[in-house]
Amino acid sequence: MLFGSGRLIRVLLLLVVLGTGGLLVHAVWKGAALKERRSEGVSEPVEAEMKLTDMEYIEMQEGRRLWSLRASEATYHQAEQKTLLKSVHLTFFMDDGGEARLESRDGVIFAETRDIELWNDVRASFPRGYELSTERAYYEHGRRVVRSEESIRVKGPELDLTGSRWEYRIPERRGLVEGDVRARVVFLSAPGE
């Protein structure tokens, strides 16, 4: 026998430790290289595969309009499956013929889900005369809900309201404001009273 059993075990253990150490060093080196490539990718803007100006898109379901999207500029990015938007106008069509409108300076629509994100001076008008302003809003297409975790201000007939998050359920035409809600209600008397 070339090696004693104790010596053979030590040699095998040393080889296992060296192999594991080598794999660990290789993994750390690969991770650092990947992180460096990612950070380089963030600093360089990705070229769009397609760019449109004065674009309009209408989402249909069973022959009726759900919403329309207009933008002064739309740049499609295939790798991310999204379209970046400028000067966005988004209109939701209600079953009773009413409309809810949102506008912002910037936005994005995700191709796979049809979800939309708006930011930079988001303004909305809802049925019954309610106006909303915030910095960011999300439309979840699957749920047909517009929501935000940003602070908002809602003005409407006899109402001035602020809160830290909100949601508007389009099919139900129902809005919800939560978080640090402050309201001012003004009751106007009817003519002749």
Output the pTM of the full model.
0.70
Please, are residues 140 and 118 in contact by the beta-carbon 8 Å criterion?
no
Structural domain boundaries of the chain? 1-44, 50-185
The b-or-e profile of 16-51 (16+ CB within 10 A means b, else e) is eeeeeeeeeeeeeeeeeeeeeeeeeeeeeeeeeeee
CATH number of 50-185: 2.60.450.10
What's the confidence (pLDDT) of residue 42? Answer: 41
Please, are residues 126 and 99 in contact by the beta-carbon 8 Å criterion?
no
Tens of pLDDT along the chain (193 residues)? 445 666 667 666 555 555 555 555 555 556 665 555 544 444 344 566 889 999 999 999 999 999 999 999 999 999 999 999 999 999 999 888 889 999 999 999 999 999 999 999 999 998 888 899 999 999 999 999 999 999 999 998 888 999 999 999 998 888 889 999 998 887 766 665 5
